[in-house]
Amino acid sequence: MRRIKKVGILTSGGDAPGMNAAIRAITRSAIYNNLNVVGIRRGYYGLVFNDMVPFDSGSVSNIIQQGGTILKTARCKEFISDEGRFEAYKNLCAQAIDALVVIGGDGTLRGARIFAEENDIPIVALPGTIDNDLGGTDITIGYDTALNTIIEAVDKIRDTATSHERLFFVEVMGHMAGYLALNGAIASGAEAAIIPERETEIDQLAELVRRGFRKSKNSAIVLVAENPATGGALGLAQRIKEEFPEYDARVTILGHLQRGGSPTAADRILASRMGAEAINALMAGQRNVMIGSQNGRMVYTPFTMAVTQKKPIKETDIELVKILSI
């Protein structure tokens, strides 16, 4: 095992609150362990086109409270090709970068896995995605902040829903996972959550209406994951208009509002712990693993398992929404 002297950091995919806290922790933990640090701008694009800058402790000052990512993030179609990844590897070698820490979601980890398989460079990943859909970790960086953003928005929407005695469909992110919708419903007191994990099992909208969810209430809020399988909030509102015209339905799509904002304390702490652990992992000879948090402990999960393991939705949480909505 060769000694690591210089570490590169990049953020890729959708931004998530807490990414800057992770960048800060990785940078300062590396410097503490006498490693040099390079910031790679715009994700894998920066690898392919050699957009890299040296980092010192001052480079990450006063960023822990900032949303987004100071390293920026972008799509890179060139990295999909063999030629693009070879160019990226040549740039790493030219910069004398011995190891990479990547922060992102499912697509970021898939790219890291392929790159690591093709080249002899250790890579450690941090799960940075508001969707909370990666295996090997109980929670991902950005999820808690996004959940709090949803709660704040739903609290305000409820004022209007109550005043006008309306049914509101609130669409939240979660293209392949319903964690934001389900836990957002529990935390905000919403009457239901419509999630992709249940859509193949049951017609969730029909079940909702059959339950008579407005018998004891003059308004209702339903959180909907944006996945096409659910029909989205607009699709469900249209179904209400056609199939249940007695209900006055409205739609609010939160969209990219959920990605922004200053990270919560929980996200700052999680990102800081994961960032420091990424450097510990590299110095211990780990490679091609994602840092996760399970039952409060830092754990290592191989890339393949992190992107293929399906994190199950808790049936008890689905039942809890029903129980609390009566």
Q: 41-55, 217-231, 256-270: lowest mean pLDDT where?
A: 217-231
pLDDT of amino acid 164: 85
pLDDT tens for 79-96 read: 999 999 999 999 999 999
Q: 145-259: which CATH number, 3.40.50.300, 3.30.2320.80, 3.40.1710.10, 3.40.50.460?
A: 3.40.50.460
Q: 92-96, 111-115, 205-209, 282-286: lowest mean pLDDT where?
A: 205-209
Selected catalytic residue, list 131, 133, 144, 267: 131
pLDDT tens for 129-149 read: 999 999 999 999 999 999 999
Domain boundaries, the chain: 6-142+263-308, 145-259
pLDDT tens for 309-318 read: 878 888 999 9
What's the full length of the chain, in residues?
326
pLDDT tens for 211-250 read: 766 555 667 899 999 988 778 999 989 988 888 888 888 9
Asked whether this chain's domains 6-142+263-308 and 145-259 adopt the same fold, the reply is yes
Please tell me the CATH code under which domain 6-142+263-308 is placed: 3.40.50.450
Q: Is 131 among the residues known to form the active site?
A: yes
Q: pTM (2 decimals)? A: 0.94
